[in-house]
Amino acid sequence: MNFISADTRRFVQKLVCERVAHCFLLSCRGLKSLTLADGFEYWQMAPGFLLPSLTELNLASAFNALLEPGMLPAVLRILVFGNQFEQPIQANVLPSTLERLEFGYHFNQLLQANILPTGLQSLSFGSRFNQPLNLPPFLRSLQLSSRFNQPLTAASLPSTLQELRFGHEFNQPLSWHPATRFDFLSVCFDQSLVVNALPSSLTRLSFRKFKHSLKGVLPPSLTFLEFDCLHPDLQDVLPAGLKILKGLRRSPETLPGNLQTLTIYNELNAPVPSVSDTLTDLSLNDFPRELTLSSGLM
C-alpha cells in the first residue's frame, strides 16, 4: 500500500483490507476502525500488532486463532468475530472498554464468569451457541443463537436488559428480575405465561410457536405484537394502545382503536373486525381467496 502517501495515512480512520503490512498500520496513527478480510495472515497478529487507537475491530470469517492477553487494543469498544471463530476466550483478553461483542456461526464455547467485561452493553451469538450464560451486570441487548436452549432463572438475566431475542429452538420457562425493564422481547417457545409475567415496560413483543392463553399476560404498554404461527384466542387480550399487529390468523371480535398496521394471513376464516380510521397499513399474506372485510375497513 505504498501508493498511499504518508500524509494521507495520518488521516485514515477506517480501513478494510485483505493483506496489510504492520508498518502500514503503524503509519495510520488515527485509525479507529479496522476490518480484516479472509486473506489476512493472522499469524502476524501478535500482541502489539493492532494499533492502540482502534475502537472497532471486525475479524474475517476465516479467523480462528486463540487470542492472548494484550492482543486487543485497550480502548476497543466494538469486536465482531467471523463465522469460523471457535476458540475459548481466556481471562483478561477482552478489554474493559468493550461495549459491543458479536460472535459468528460456529462459536460454541462456555464463557466463564468474569470473562465478559462488566461494561458490555450488547452481546450477540451466532447459530451454534448453546452454553450456560454468565452475563455481565449492565448488559442492555442480548441476541441468542437459533440452537440456544438452556434453562434460565431470574439470576441469569441482568435487570438492565432492554432487548432480548431467542432463537427458534428455545423452549424453556422464562423468569427475570422484578426490576427488569424490557423494551423488546422476541421469543420462540411453547411455554405458558402467568398473569403479569411480562415486564410492564414492554413495548414490542414477537412470538413464535406460542399457543397458550394470553389472558392477563400482555402489558398495557405494548404497541407492537407479532405472531409467526397460529396464535391463541385474542379476544379481550389486546392492549388498547396497540399500534402494530402482525400475523393475525384468528380474528377477535374487536381490534384496538389505535391500530395503525395490520398483517393478516390466509388461515383467517372469519371477517376482519372493524378498526378505526387510524389504520394506514393493511397487508394480506398468501391469500388464495377473496377476503371478507367488515364495513370499518371498506
Angle at 276 between CA 270 and CA 278, to 5 degrees: 120
Per-residue pLDDT of 167-217, as tens digits, reads 989 998 887 777 788 899 998 888 888 888 888 899 999 988 788 888 889
Entry field: residues in the chain: 298
Burial code of 163-178, b = ≥16 C-beta within 10 A, e = fewer? bbbbbeebeeebebbe
**pLDDT value for 23:** 42
Per-residue pLDDT of 253-298, as tens digits, reads 788 989 999 988 766 666 666 777 888 998 877 655 555 555 455 4
Instruction: Say what the pTM is.
Output: 0.83
Per-residue pLDDT of 117-176, as tens digits, reads 999 999 999 999 999 999 999 999 999 999 999 998 878 899 899 999 999 899 988 877
